[in-house]
Amino acid sequence: MDAKLLSGILLISVILISGCTTAINDNQQGDTELSQNQIDEVYDDLGDLIIDETNGVELGSLI
Amino acid sequence: MKRINGAVILSLFLLFSFSSAFAEDNETSLYEVELNDSNLENELLIMDVPEGIALRFLQLEEQLEIKINHSNQIIEMIGEINSSIDTSDLQLIVDELVLIKDEVSNYTTIEAVNELEDALTTFVDLKTDSLELITEFRTIVNELLSDAEIELLHESLNLNYSNLGLETQIRNMIRMYNSERLQKMYQGINMQNDSVIGQVMNGTMNKEQIMIHLKSAYEDSNMTMQQFAVKLKQHVTEGKVNASAKIQQAVMNYTNRQIERIRVRIQNSNLTIGNASGLVQGLNNKIDSINEKVNAWMSSHTQDSGATSGSQTQGNNVDSGNQANGSGN
């Protein structure tokens, strides 16, 4: 009985670890397959990191 | 069987610890502050390098200088509209904005930001103080004047104020920042292009041209467009995660730092402002008001949640607040 319970716990642990590993791998693999839209988004985001005079600090209006 | 019991107890203990930690964190942020600043994350995005930090402080200084100029004009115009209107509260706000601008101007060089212990939190603090004061200024003006009079202010306000020295410093810092940013991106994709960096540094390549260059730069690498974009995406994602984490960090203990900043301003006001007694009184009142807010939150929260881990967090805040209040007065 004890051994069965222990096996159950071990099995659940293995499933959880396996699930997490798969999710991480999927995520990494997903990164390497960007659509053209996603590539455009990357360059849009890069546009926030390259600065010109229009990208300043905002303090709101006095009146 | 004992081992299994031990494992179950350990698991429950871990679960309980995690839930307690999250509960305490949520309660702390509930009390601490609400940063109603939709631009903040975007502004922090570039502050992972000293050039980006110095640039944001320079831009904050410039904005404060412009707001101080405009608010002085507004006070003068209110006096012209109706000389019996008391504008002393507005003047106190301007005086405090001057003190904040002086603080900000200490952090506008790369050497200065390198010495700062936590530059991003300092930026968030000073910007939030500025935003609060500007909101307060706007609220008071709305109470003092009619809609037609405010419209008149809008029409009459001279928006052409500029500080050429600051503008030049900002322009130069933008070039330094962009070249540093490009270098970091190149490092991430194992490339080097001194010619482009040089053009960005001397101002012959603007943002639009940099973006065009980045879109075609994969041709000079041994990567496909896909691989190149993936590498660049990592750079962007890291920056966004850092900016978000920094905002969360800045929210923690915000009120204690705010009280400390006001106390420093009380000391500085005598050096900067000619007759500072009104400002000192106003700043002391602000400390009292913050403490009242903390105490009100504490008593309502204690009634709501009883003796939980959150109560301990609140207790710490109140102690600090009361100490600050005592010395502030």
Nearest to A50 among B43, B67, B178 (CB): B178
Q: Are residues B267 and B207 in the same domain?
A: no
Sign of CA dihedral B294, B300, B303, B309: negative
Higher per-residue confidence, A24 vs A3? A3
Range(s) of the domain holding residue B109: 1-252
pLDDT at B276 over 50: yes
- Tell me the pLDDT of chain B averaged across its residues: 83
Residues 122-151 of chain B with CB under 8 A from chain A are 127, 130-131, 134-135, 137-138, 141, 150
Rounded Cα distance, A62 and B154, in Å: 10
Outline where chain B has alpha helix (H).
2-32, 40-44, 50-81, 88-104, 110-115, 119-144, 147-156, 164-188, 194-201, 207-216, 225-251, 254-272, 277-305, 309-328
Residue where one domain finishes, among candidates B194, B220, B252: B252
Cβ-Cβ contacts under 8 Å, A33 against chain B: 226
Which of B75, B131, B233, B237 has the highest number of chain A CBs within 10 A, making it the mutation to test binding with A? B233
Q: Which of A2, A51, A53 sits opposite B177 (nearest CB)?
A: A51
CA B58/CA B63 separation, integer angstroms: 9
A43 in contact with B, Cβ within 8 Å: yes
The closest CB to that of A62, out of B55, B67, B229, belongs to B67
B211 chain-A contacts, CB cut-off 8 A: 43, 46-47, 50
Q: Which of B195, B220, B252 is the last residue of a domain?
A: B252
Task: Flag whether pLDDT at B21 surpasses 50.
Answer: no
Contact assessment for residue B116 and residue B122, using Cβ atoms and an 8 Å cutoff:
yes
What's the pLDDT score for residue B26?
43
Clarify whether residues B203 and B213 are in a common domain. yes
- If asked whether residues B172 and B297 sit together in one domain, one would say no
What confidence category does residue B210 fall into, taking pLDDT thresholds of 50, 70 and 90?
A: very high
Greater confidence (A32 vs B122) lies with B122
Residues B77 and B208 in one domain: yes
Say what the pLDDT of residue B310 is. Answer: 40
Inter-chain CB pairs, A–B, below 8 Å: 114
Reported ipTM: 0.73
More confident residue, B8 or B173: B173
Q: Is B264 helix (H, G, I), strand (E, B) or coil?
A: helix
Contact status of A44 with chain B (Cβ, < 8 Å): no
Residue B137, min C-alpha distance to chain A (Å): 6
Instruction: Give the gap in angstroms from C-alpha A45 to the nearest C-alpha of chain B.
Output: 7
Q: How confident is the model at residue B319 (pLDDT cuts 50, 70, 90)?
A: very low
Q: Domain count of chain B? A: 2
pLDDT of residue B269: 84
Q: B94 and B239 in one domain?
A: yes
Regarding whether B173 and B88 lie in a shared domain, the answer is yes
- Nearest-Cα distance to chain A for B193, in Å, is 17
| Structure confidence at residue B308 (pLDDT) | 46
CA distance A36 to chain B (A): 9
Contact B134 A31 (CB under 8 A): no
Q: Are residues B280 and B163 in the same domain?
A: no
Same-domain status, B84 and B208: yes
Averaged pLDDT, A12-37:
66
**Minimum distance, in Å, between the CA of residue A15 and any CA atom of chain B:** 17
Please tell me the distance from the alpha carbon of residue B217 to that of residue B208, in angstroms, as a whole number.
Answer: 14
User: Are B130 and B242 members of one domain?
Assistant: yes
pLDDT at B318: 37
- DSSP one-letter string for B271-297: HHSSS-HHHHHHHHHHHHHHHHHHHHH
Which of B318, B324, B326 lies closest to B260, judged by CA? B324
Q: A42 and B63: CB-CB below 8 Å? A: no
Q: What angle do CA B155, B160, B166 make, to 5 degrees?
A: 150
Give the predicted TM-score (pTM) of the model.
0.76
> How does residue B272 score in pLDDT terms, banded at 50, 70 and 90?
confident
Chosen domain end from B200, B228, B252: B252
Which has the closest alpha carbon to B282: B136, B144, B139, B143?
B136
Task: Answer yes or no: do B187 and B214 share one domain.
Answer: yes
> Which residues are CB-contacts of A59 (< 8 A; sequence separation ≥ 6)?
B60, B63, B64, B67, B127, B130, B131, B134
Residues of A in contact with B70 (CB under 8 A): 62
In this predicted structure, what is the pLDDT of residue B223? 83
**The pLDDT value given to residue B20:** 45
Q: pLDDT tens digits for B289-316?
A: 988 888 887 787 776 655 444 433 333 4
Is pLDDT of B144 > 70?
yes
List of chain A residues whose C-beta atoms are within 8 Å of the C-beta of residue B226 = 32-34, 39
- Asked whether residue B226 falls in the same domain as residue B324, the answer is no
Report yes or no: B60 at the A interface, CB cutoff 8 Å: yes
DSSP secondary structure, B40-95, as one string: HHHHHTTTTSHHHHHHHHHHHHHHHHHHHHHHHHHHHHHHHH-TTS--HHHHHHHH
B324 pLDDT band (50/70/90 cuts)? very low
B232 and B309 inside one domain? no
pLDDT tens readout for residues A26-58: 555 444 577 888 888 888 888 889 999 999 999
**Residues of B in Cβ contact (< 8 Å) with A5:** 4
pLDDT of residue B28 exceeding 60, the answer is no
Residue type, B15: L
